[in-house]
Structure 1
């Protein structure tokens, strides 16, 4: 790899234990030489933001691949409140927010499906429906470094087309000293408690302990982090924007809306244990165990208002008062019926990761490595809808005259006449005829109960042979085997009051103080504890999969067995007088995949018939890679990289489910069978990617880099028509057994390309009077073209923002610390939750999120009694940036406008 020349300052950081352990990169002989280096190094105290930036820069400099890194300011102190937010500040990385917090990421314009997450080099199971890891599941307090690999090498077992995010825990032996660190922060949301059964206050707390025993041959680290974080939200949500009176010559008008307020309390507990043993220079063993438990409780209350799409069944239609450039900006909904919603969402999830790594140096030339790991994740959701209104079914009960006016930012303000907080006026029951599970208009609510289980086991055996001379420094080779099983059980139930068909006055014991909907003009609304009402057995439940064809094919099981053989030659030589380092390698990846699912259809009685289905496929792919670094001048390097990369298909697309219909006498030219489903034979996305970058490291805490990348996508996944042999499932049926189904399939590819630039400056390096001031800036431009066929229009890639910018300006001196950070992301296609907790892609508007913090470290105060104590004040979402999604190309057609407010945190840290 690129052999940069570290200064005394950088070496001091390593000696102080700031370096983090990487299983795939740290050679065993480094530890043997460390003690000799420690004795000769003058220890220079570097802390806080500058320490983090210097460590990250050192990682980027020394890695043979193109990487970005985040390092902890100190033990248990990564620079942001979550891993996802820290990642979003890196060049070429962008985060998507969920409920106000950064959640999943895109790398170089490719969405979360194209990103792989590892912990200490091992791929992680995920709690979502696919492979993408939700990074807010990992407490930042338990991680010491995160490295993003933008180019792979042959020893990177979990590569992906977008990139690989490797989260790393501490090495207690490399840390080198006994340390105990504790932290606590109080948290406040400035929107206040929007629901009476919620809170706007929370806290975060953590404790870390690192020690060494048996003459520094045994190391131990323990960490625990707890978070109880409040989140409040005012959400404007629209159904859509049809033409007024369904006439294309008329302007668009609000089709309907479901505005609500959401209060949530996120609780997360994380545990980390690391045990490290190195009795001599030859043998090294490390065991790490990580566990997190995640619980999110959300109360959602609002009023659903059918607009133009409710004409004829919920109201008498809209009278337009004014319109502007094709949009009705003011109008009246006449004789309007609405539905009052008291909904609840809960999520219980946990993740477990266990890894055991052993290295043994046989002699001067040979070393061996064995690694085994287990990663498990499971999730149980509840998404409950509880309905109330003035009468049961369409056209019954008291109505209202609703005025509405466009506010210019996508939201609407309403006027009304009814008192929606009056329990005499608003009663439990289905105000609209949305479903008939046990009788006419008998859907009084709905509850979704999906469950996800994901288990991933891996084993790696590897060896390295060091050559005595020549351009090839060493050769690494081995085999990695993984088994993964992921399942989804999707359960949903229609809810009907036991007193049906009567509407029910909310019993007093469930009533809560009214919830204010003043943010869109509807005043107070009736609020009650709907989950407690459900848990007390007040509803009749009807399983949706007995009457809903799509629900019957939402559950699945996917199995994968992947065997990867790899070889990598590490290079170190000169070319035309320029030092050259890097590697050339090859992976052979064999995959055996299968899925258990269901074939479902509706019989003549209107009931769903289900038949088990199992299918799968196997394949072999060859993945060459090359990473070269030329030191064109002192501390200046040009990197060239090329690779063929692979990202496995979404697991919810690989299921064997199919729903279909059978017609004994179809119309001319049409098949007897038709339907749609998943594809257990779906192959991975593949790409050939090329990178060139220039990096200039002019100081320990200063560098400039620019990079160009091109990803030639060999294929992409599209929903396409295909033939399916239904005769194998239903041989007793007459007619042609070959039917037409719509399945996800590998289609044509395209490209993603872009440019990245980064500059990191310590102003004191140029002007001594500005010692302590610095900044970190980066920007990325991406573009793509992917087509289903050669003649089709380009497809918008999920997760691709054309432009992203990040800026951090800081001051750190004499114990004082201040920082303000901003991240910008242009419009992109993102994945969000829709009805029944299903996922869909929507257009998300550009956003700029700003965070800030100030603090003081009393270790530099001269007060001995306060040594190790520091205080910190943080503000997240300082400018109260909303999250906005819209439909079509007109950004006035807002689907979601989510206002989260600001979160304030005040805390203390103590290390001794």
Structure 2
């Protein structure tokens, strides 16, 4: 047996979130032979306890894993799950609205990552399968484990990896505990909109107890967050050639800069009920619920540039250009649109799981696990327009100077007062839409709705052998049913006074919003949502006139049956102790989708219901072996065939098309479609990891991996039989559509290294100091066809690096952490709240915290109390995306500022 494998006691303490302890027995007195053995308890707390427990989890796992453990009840090391995950080797997070939101594992984006709660796959409020981790309050989780290599018992495996969030076990915790925390929060950009706040708070309370002679335990938790977020955002339309001449330099095509103020409210509730009356029966019921509301106010001025010549301005005069980009110029006779927009997201998630284990005898045990995960989301994305006149070429214009500032955005000079309500009036300044008449689009409101429900039943058994190289065999079946739907509701808004422009009524006016960050001074601000809610607009359903909108709602269903068998090994090979497993999964999937076939006829969208689906079976073998090559040193070898299901928003049965009765090429039908026949991504992956555990709070690990992607999903031209839907239509029934298809694959490969050191092992003077370092290098080559250019994989950063330096002793705690990821292709929100992939610039995010635990002060009245100051985004790192290869062609430049948090924690 491997020497470094933790004892059952250590594992129990880890599971409970209790302190790992070292026991030292003193010699018995010669005069008291019956005295009990005295025990000295050395308690490790805070950051070092978290690191020690995480290391123990990594050591004891049969797979290659990374782990994060809570420093105390209700206290993970960071303010969010995603930020903690982003500090692990080979893991990177993408920020959304200033906070870490989704993650990539080993260069594979959120599409290739599965999230579970206590081992059960989670529904998602996302349009796809990817879990948005800011939905889960970190205060209610005990640990998070990232499985980089799967085994056959993991039902929710994925090509990138599986993130398992775990709650506390009240029986293993073993004592009554009440923990309370409260933190105030402040953003240093201030309240950028007058109807917003730059202050918020976070609070939580947890209660753990045991009853009936420690056979019944409960854990209850509640967490609430009201977090402010402010943003100064530069956003460009693009960069065409000046005068549309390839010999001319590129110039700003248009811009939509704005300030955003948001207030995120999140409530989370956890309940765990655990019952173990004897050694043969163990039952756990856990319930996890979160409610999430994010209200954002966005105000700015949209400025047509080169693309607006002829309708938004009289053209651009270029003054200076540098290396093919106009860096200084003037927009002549410029018309702009003043935007008062609002985004609101209401979402909630509920997860319920009930696990029952029965020990039939010393060799046989059976497990039954039933669970349900449900997520719902409703968005409001409202655009409200105002300007100096209705439609193109009307109203007062301005002369706008612009200059590139060298930091990713432009500064403007202007002449008009854009905060004057007598000049800037409600109505559409540009001819962007004609829902009820010419130039009648005065705004737009998106109201998409997402529903996702996932139900699962797992039955399994394990037989433990008395001897032999196979220690046990596990086998069973897992059935999962998932139903996800999207209703993409959208409406054009037209003022009831159309075609007149309307002065904003005084009851809706707010203090002007400053756009000085890019030189446009103050702008007119008003409560656009209140104006809408009071019935001042005529609404026109977009799916009656917009073909793409009519085919953006869908239902997707999956029924997945997984049979698995796994042999756990404990033996010797080549004279070395080895543990591990060999396993096989058979995964049968029945997938279907309900959608719409839509076309435009006489200016109206005509819709026809459509449904389709497919079935498939895949076989997934896996192997994980761990060799003890020396004391406290292990070499892990793993191989597996893994599966990640296709994006659900790509699996829809929607088709939009146009019909040409007299085509020149013989093709009557052309259009775009989803693909309910999409097969999953598949990969064969190989891993080798060397780990050296030189102390109980120190290790070095080096891992290499190779993922052979058997296929990938691309948008391709394919044939579609329209004759099955329109049998009476003359002409060739086979049409050409663009839709996602399974194509050629490729590879992803990389190397990871991590080092954790407690400097106290070198000298007593360094006691309490330590560092955690990790880095990775990843590259890939994925091609649509053998002769095509390689595809950029979403989420892949070639380089990542994480560093944390900490000090903790005698109650004092200080830590500074940074995480770096190089350029990558990320997914962001575009117009109409749709998603798209864009190039995102490399970034380094730095966080810091300092605190003191009064339990070490010797003041009895303050025992259990601790204080902490945290700063997120200490160096005010912006989030930047760009077009093409020239990083000066910035798409988005987002300045979030710093968030400060000062809080108290109390445990008794």
The TM-score normalised by the length of structure 1 is 0.97
Aligned equivalents of 1:129, 1:575: Cα separation in 2: 48
CA contact (8 A) 1:2 1:582 kept: no
CA contact (8 A) 1:3 1:62 kept: no
CA contact (8 A) 1:485 1:560 kept: yes
Aligned equivalents of 1:17, 1:595: Cα separation in 2: 44
Partner of 2:155: 157
Aligned equivalents of 1:802, 1:132: Cα separation in 2: 21
Partner of 2:179: 181
Aligned equivalents of 2:3, 2:121: Cα separation in 1: 29
2:236 counterpart of 1:276: no
The TM-score normalised by the length of structure 2 is 0.97
CA 1:549–1:41 in 2, change beyond 3 Å: closer, same or farther? farther
Partner of 2:612: 615
Aligned equivalents of 1:446, 1:855: Cα separation in 2: 48
Partner of 1:339: 337
Cα offset for 1:43?
3.4
Partner of 2:18: 18
Partner of 1:567: 565
2:662 counterpart of 1:665: yes
- Give structure 2 stretches of 5+ with no counterpart: 21-35
Partner of 2:44: 46
CA 1:902–1:282 in 2, change beyond 3 Å: closer, same or farther? same
Cα offset for 1:2?
5.3
Cα offset for 1:41?
7.4
Describe the superposition over 1:458-515 as per-residue Cα deviations: whole angstroms up to 9, x where unpaired. 0000000011111000000000000000000000000000000000000000000000
Aligned partner of residue 111 in structure 2, secondary structure = helix
Equivalent of residue 864 in structure 1, options 852, 860, 863: 860
Partner of 1:441: 439
2:459 counterpart of 1:455: no
Partner of 2:365: 367
Equivalent of residue 491 in structure 1, options 479, 489, 492: 489
Aligned partner of residue 61 in structure 1, secondary structure = helix
Partner of 2:691: 695
Aligned partner of residue 279 in structure 1, secondary structure = strand
Aligned partner of residue 43 in structure 2, secondary structure = coil
2:885 counterpart of 1:897: no
CA 1:303–1:39 in 2, change beyond 3 Å: closer, same or farther? farther
Q: Where do residues 427-826 of structure 1 align in structure 2 (5 Å cutoff)?
A: 427-603=425-601, 605-667=602-664, 669-826=665-822
Q: Where do residues 250-289 of structure 1 align in structure 2 (5 Å cutoff)?
A: 250-289=248-287
Aligned equivalents of 2:355, 2:81: Cα separation in 1: 24
Describe the superposition over 1:114-166 as per-residue Cα deviations: whole angstroms up to 9, x where unpaired. 00000000000000100000000000000000000000000000000000000
Aligned equivalents of 1:617, 1:472: Cα separation in 2: 38
Aligned equivalents of 2:501, 2:643: Cα separation in 1: 56
2:199 counterpart of 1:201: yes
Partner of 2:396: 398
Equivalent of residue 873 in structure 1, options 869, 872, 875: 869
Cα offset for 1:767?
1.6
CA contact (8 A) 1:387 1:430 kept: yes
2:168 counterpart of 1:170: yes
Cα offset for 1:581?
0.3
Aligned equivalents of 2:5, 2:409: Cα separation in 1: 57
Cα offset for 1:410?
1.7
Aligned equivalents of 1:574, 1:786: Cα separation in 2: 39
Partner of 1:313: 311
CA contact (8 A) 1:9 1:44 kept: no
Aligned partner of residue 617 in structure 1, secondary structure = strand
2:906 counterpart of 1:910: yes
Aligned equivalents of 1:749, 1:638: Cα separation in 2: 30
Cα offset for 1:409?
1.5
Partner of 1:248: 246
Describe the superposition over 1:268-289 as per-residue Cα deviations: whole angstroms up to 9, x where unpaired. 0000000000000110000000
CA contact (8 A) 2:17 2:168 kept: no
Aligned equivalents of 1:2, 1:355: Cα separation in 2: 34
Aligned equivalents of 1:40, 1:794: Cα separation in 2: 67
Cα offset for 1:47?
0.6
CA contact (8 A) 1:15 1:43 kept: no
2:127 counterpart of 1:129: yes
Aligned equivalents of 1:532, 1:11: Cα separation in 2: 55
Aligned partner of residue 417 in structure 1, secondary structure = coil
Describe the superposition over 1:341-387 as per-residue Cα deviations: whole angstroms up to 9, x where unpaired. 00000000000000000001011110000000000000000000000
Describe the superposition over 1:519-575 as per-residue Cα deviations: whole angstroms up to 9, x where unpaired. 000000000000000000000000000000000000000000000000000000011
Cα offset for 1:44?
2.2
CA contact (8 A) 1:12 1:42 kept: no
Aligned equivalents of 1:6, 1:722: Cα separation in 2: 56
2:846 counterpart of 1:847: no
CA contact (8 A) 1:833 1:839 kept: yes
Cα offset for 1:15?
9.5
Cα offset for 1:13?
4.8
- Give structure 1 stretches of 5+ with no counterpart: 21-37
Which 4+ stretches in 1 moved above 6 angstroms?
38-41
Alpha-carbon RMSD: 1.4
Cα offset for 1:219?
0.4
Aligned equivalents of 2:682, 2:573: Cα separation in 1: 32
Describe the superposition over 1:301-339 as per-residue Cα deviations: whole angstroms up to 9, x where unpaired. 000000010001110000001111101010000000000
CA contact (8 A) 1:334 1:402 kept: yes
Describe the superposition over 1:597-620 as per-residue Cα deviations: whole angstroms up to 9, x where unpaired. 0000001x1100000001000000
Cα offset for 1:576?
2.1
Describe the superposition over 1:445-466 as per-residue Cα deviations: whole angstroms up to 9, x where unpaired. 0000000000000000000001
Partner of 2:31: none
CA 1:880–1:552 in 2, change beyond 3 Å: closer, same or farther? same
Partner of 1:223: 221
Cα offset for 1:883?
0.0
Cα offset for 1:875?
0.2
Q: Where do residues 133-152 of structure 1 align in structure 2 (5 Å cutoff)?
A: 133-152=131-150
CA contact (8 A) 1:203 1:228 kept: yes
Equivalent of residue 888 in structure 1, options 875, 884, 891: 884
Cα offset for 1:582?
0.1
Partner of 1:30: none
Q: Using the TM superposition, name which of 882-891 and 574-583 deviates more.
A: 574-583
Aligned equivalents of 1:851, 1:98: Cα separation in 2: 17
Aligned equivalents of 2:87, 2:146: Cα separation in 1: 12
Partner of 1:34: none
Partner of 2:356: 358
Partner of 1:303: 301
Cα offset for 1:577?
1.7
Partner of 1:4: 4
CA contact (8 A) 2:71 2:77 kept: yes
Describe the superposition over 1:677-698 as per-residue Cα deviations: whole angstroms up to 9, x where unpaired. 1000000000000000100001
Aligned partner of residue 679 in structure 1, secondary structure = coil
Equivalent of residue 323 in structure 2, options 314, 317, 325: 325
Cα offset for 1:17?
4.6
